[in-house]
């Protein structure tokens, strides 16, 4: 049953990854500027940010399974409607709507994982991101082939929208409440102690600031790196999709990445991954190594940024507070990271249009990585949850 939940989140990842791949085609057809295409690539994260905290409270009133299904339905319909957009305004609205649905699903899935697998919360969050990695592999690869096969950027959007609706039905038929609504099971598996009694604590404040920087890092890459491959290195959609799939392959390291977070303090795990993201940004956006070099760099980026940084930001947010605040902590993580991510594509595109791709990476991704690594030094591990 948990596999069905994770598979539905893999569909989420497929939907999320496809638009940046076709953004160059959309830009040419509609005459959008590079910054506008960047905004369209990441505006869904604004919907995620706006829906994150409210979804945390929604989970207190409705079942997690219901919230997962509703989220899948919203982002799938939004993805399909993007293909019939008449211009920038309605396309922007459809893209933002997909983020609302994705936030609903992600917050509920993280709450399911953290509640049922309470002893290994970071590893459980890693399994969620592992599913994201599978979708991030399949999405660009399949999407690139659909664009080439049908000669239209609209084909993968419609196809992935339909697949999402199928996933919603599978969750309805297969997932039982003893998994999705687990509370007593948490108490049986472990004794969890510690954590702050409210969200207003030192660790949560610092983690929120780091998550804001993480959104600029992660979605500076996810939102605009495909456009860099298409427009700067001049790769075809199929080849660019293959390079992007390597990022998804790297994200499969999420389970061991979460394991690191369950055993090492955040100063080491988050600090090292943030510093590494700053180092990797330069070769990625300089085009170093051609197609094979970029594929290898995308793999390394996926391991470090998705497999370690993202997973443990989610895990540490939950660990920073008492167990009863797990839903709200997950919602705060989603809101903070995806709030900054909503402008990451626009900012990256704006900087690239004025100073070039490499300068944009230096100003946005490298600087955010360095500042974030410094902020981790203020975290206090002894105030977080411990399991016995």
- In this predicted structure, what is the pLDDT of residue 210? 96
- In this predicted structure, what is the pLDDT of residue 208? 94
- In this predicted structure, what is the pLDDT of residue 189? 41
Residues of the chain with pLDDT under 50: 184-191, 386-388
- In this predicted structure, what is the pLDDT of residue 326? 73
Structure tokens at 158: 């419609």
Q: pLDDT tens for residues 2-30?
A: 788 888 888 888 888 889 989 999 999 99
Structure tokens at 159: 């196809």
| Distances 35 to 27, 31, 351, 354 between C-alpha atoms, Å | 10, 12, 8, 10
Spatial distance between the Cα atoms of 149 and 152, rounded to a whole number of angstroms = 8
- In this predicted structure, what is the pLDDT of residue 321? 78
Spatial distance between the Cα atoms of 251 and 212, rounded to a whole number of angstroms = 20
- In this predicted structure, what is the pLDDT of residue 188? 41
Spatial distance between the Cα atoms of 65 and 178, rounded to a whole number of angstroms = 11
CA-CA-CA-CA torsion for 140, 129, 48, 323, nearest 10 degrees? 170
- In this predicted structure, what is the pLDDT of residue 161? 92
Query: 200, exposed or middle or buried, with CB in 10 Å at 0-12, 13-18, 19+?
Result: exposed
Spatial distance between the Cα atoms of 343 and 360, rounded to a whole number of angstroms = 14
- In this predicted structure, what is the pLDDT of residue 384? 59
Q: Of 23, 43, 22, 42, whose CA–CA distance to 33 is shortest? A: 23
Number of domain units in the chain? 1
Q: Supply the CATH number for residue 38's domain.
A: 1.20.1250.20
Structure tokens at 301: 């980026």
Long-range Cβ contact pairs of 358-365 (< 8 A, separation 24 or more): 358/282, 358/285, 358/286, 360/220, 360/224, 360/285, 361/220, 361/281, 361/282, 361/284, 361/285, 362/281, 362/282, 364/216, 364/217, 364/220, 365/216, 365/217, 365/220, 365/221, 365/277, 365/278, 365/281, 365/285
Q: pLDDT tens for residues 74-90?
A: 999 999 999 999 999 99
Spatial distance between the Cα atoms of 100 and 77, rounded to a whole number of angstroms = 12
The answer to whether 181 and 111 have CB atoms below 8 angstroms apart is no
Quote the domain boundaries for residue 95: 2-387
């Amino acid at each position: 049953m948990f596999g069905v939940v994770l598979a539905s989140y893999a569909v989420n990842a497929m939907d999320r990854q496809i638009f940046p791949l076709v953004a160059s085609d959309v830009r040419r057809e509609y005459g959008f500027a590079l910054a506008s295409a960047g905004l369209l690539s990441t505006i869904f994260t604004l919907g995620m940010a706006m829906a994150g905290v409210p979804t945390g409270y929604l989970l207190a009133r409705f079942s997690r399974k219901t919230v997962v299904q509703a989220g899948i339905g919203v982002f799938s319909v939004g993805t399909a409607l993007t293909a019939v957009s008449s211009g920038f305004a309605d396309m922007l609205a459809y893209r933002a709507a997909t983020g609302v649905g994705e936030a609903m699903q992600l917050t509920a899935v993280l709450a399911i994982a953290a509640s049922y697998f309470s002893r290994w919360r970071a590893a459980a969050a890693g399994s969620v991101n592992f599913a994201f990695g599978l979708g991030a592999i399949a999405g660009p690869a399949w999407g690139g082939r659909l664009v080439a096969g049908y000669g239209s950027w609209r084909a993968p959007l419609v196809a992935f929208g339909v697949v999402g609706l199928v996933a919603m039905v599978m969750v309805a038929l297969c997932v039982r409440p003893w998994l999705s609504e687990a509370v007593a099971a948490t108490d049986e598996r472990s004794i969890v102690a510690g954590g702050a009694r409210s969200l207003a604590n030192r660790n949560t404040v610092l983690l929120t600031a780091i998550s804001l920087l993480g959104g600029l890092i992660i979605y500076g890459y996810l939102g605009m790196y495909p456009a860099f491959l298409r427009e700067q290195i001049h790769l075809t959609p199929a080849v660019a999709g293959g390079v992007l799939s390597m990022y998804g392959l790297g994200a499969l390291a999420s389970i061991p990445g979460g394991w690191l977070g369950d055993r090492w303090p955040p100063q080491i795990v988050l600090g090292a991954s943030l510093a590494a993201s700053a180092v990797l940004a330069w070769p990625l956006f300089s085009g170093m190594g051609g197609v094979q070099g970029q594929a290898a760099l995308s793999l390394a980026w996926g391991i470090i940024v998705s497999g370690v940084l993202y997973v443990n930001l989610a895990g540490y947010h939950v660990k920073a507070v008492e167990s009863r605040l797990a839903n709200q902590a997950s919602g705060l993580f989603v809101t903070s990271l995806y709030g900054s991510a909503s402008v990451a594509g626009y900012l990256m595109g704006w900087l690239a249009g004025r100073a070039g791709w490499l300068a944009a990476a230096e100003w946005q991704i490298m600087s955010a990585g360095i500042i974030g690594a410094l902020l981790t030094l203020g975290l206090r591990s002894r105030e977080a949850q411990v399991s016995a």
